[in-house]
Structure 1
Amino acid sequence: MSYQFITCAKLPTRHGEFDIHVFENEDGQEHVMLTVGLPVVEPIPIDPTLKKDAAPTKNTDHKLSDHPIPLVRIHSECLTGDAFSSLKCDCGSQLNAAMQAIQATGFGAILYLRQEGRGIGLTNKIRAYALQDQGHDTLDANLMLGLPADARTYDMCGPMLAHIGVKEVRLITNNPDKVAYLMDHGIHVVERVPLVVGVNDINAGYLATKRDRMGHLLNKEFYTEAHLNK
């Protein structure tokens, strides 16, 4: 993955102050990383052939060695959830909870990837919403439009984490695909940190689909009958 680091600045938020880093990939797409307590260092090469059993277990950079393993969230852009507080999904709640958690630990990062609608784009996402309004679930709505259920990629994660010298993480996610991707690309996930927030009656079916049809690690017993079993 070819990319270019563009710039970095301070970003005060209602959750606390982050450093915001901007990257651009070979397609001209901009991605953002928010960090707390993580210095910018010379990028550490990530060996794409490095598998789970050979993944590094200790960061050797002296600037990071005295710190805990960083808490990291990979978050794909969701305009409706992140900016407009949509109740159709849990994206906005997940982003805010991750920002709060990383500020609380004082050492972590959010990789904000510009791949709206699980990678299908905003217009197609709203087309899928229209089909969901007719009673179809999120997966079937995408397929009815001739689109993949999930078109996201995580190729930028390695270069972004390398930019801050990180090769092992505590990953905030319910999605096992994210864990597998990082492990398969030489980034050791030492812990998966569940993130279950933003549950409501409107997004109950959406969460059930992620759990039952897309393999997300959501406890079947966590939700009330009103939420996920109606």
Structure 2
Amino acid sequence: MNDQTETYQYVSSANLPTKLGQFQIHGFVEKTSQQEHVALSYGDWEVEDVVPIRIHSECLTGDALFSTRCDCGAQLEKALQNIVEQGKGVLLYLRQEGRGIGLLNKIHAYKLQDEGMDTVEANEHLGFDADLRDYSICQLMLEQLNVKNVKLMTNNPKKSEALSKMGINVVERTPIDHGITDDNRHYIRTKTEKLGHHFSESLLKK
């Protein structure tokens, strides 16, 4: 297993009371870029337990501003609810806005989508790959939290593949079909058809 401490660093932890329950927040940093990431943990577990987790990439518009043109904010809240209901779990919150292109470039991409492009076409028109996200820091985050076996909440198979390559045992992938609206149905269909995400076809037809 690669030594992640050369690239990433654990910083500190603290209590984080929320409307859903009492979490712990754990801070991490990428040493080169100084980009900051956090993990939220809930409950207790033994190192061999299977722990529910979600890897969630930052989405200011969806997570904080309640935009319905994506499903991010709804999925974030649902994942935290699921963790509390199951009595334990971890949410890894990665600061890679717009699938890694950054907030202002995401706004440029939104403008192109308003003019008729889908999300993949817009990113590529701006000179980016469809998805630039990197999940490498998840290895250190999960090691710090003593998590080896996970039940992963995601519709994105690339997240399962990334964790498996890091030596994390993905025991189960559970879908998180949540937050589909009339405003984002085309966006979600694009994720399904062009990026390989798994969503229920019946939900997309509603």
Shorter-normalised TM range? over 0.9
TM-score (norm 1): 0.84
Distance 1:7 1:16 in 2: 20
TM-score (normalizing by structure 2): 0.94
Q: How many angstroms apart in 2 are the aligned matches of 1:107 and 1:159?
A: 19
Pick from 4, 7, 17: which aligns with 2:12?
Answer: 7
- Pairing partner for 1:121 from 89, 99, 102: 102
Higher helix share: 2
How does 1:17-166 map onto structure 2 within 5 Å? 17-26=22-31, 27-38=33-44, 63-65=46-48, 68-166=49-147
Confirm or deny: 8 A CA contact 1:38 1:164 kept in the other structure: no
Q: What is the CA deviation profile of residues 49-88 of structure 1, one whole-angstrom value per residue up to 9, with x for unaligned ones? A: xxxxxxxxxxxxxx444xx511000000000000001011
Identity of aligned residues (%): 50
| Larger RCO (CA within 8 A; separation ≥ 6) | 1
SS at match of 1:130: helix
Q: Distance in 1 between matches of 2:204 and 2:184?
A: 12
Unmatched segments (≥5 aa) in structure 1: 40-62, 226-230
Query: Greater Rg, structure 1 or structure 2?
Result: 1
Residues 50 and 149 of structure 2 are in contact (CA less than 8 Å); yes or no, is this contact kept in structure 1?
yes
Structure 2: distance between partners of 1:38 and 1:112 = 19
Aligned residues: 200
Distance 1:9 1:101 in 2: 21
Aligned-partner Cα distance in 1 for 2:200–2:63: 24
Mapped to 1, the partners of 2:165 and 2:137 lie a distance apart of: 14
Alignment gaps of 5+ in structure 2? none
Deviation at 1:141, TM superposition (A): 0.5
Given candidates 171, 193, 200, the residue that maps to 2:181 is 200
Q: Which amino acid aligns with 1:71?
A: P
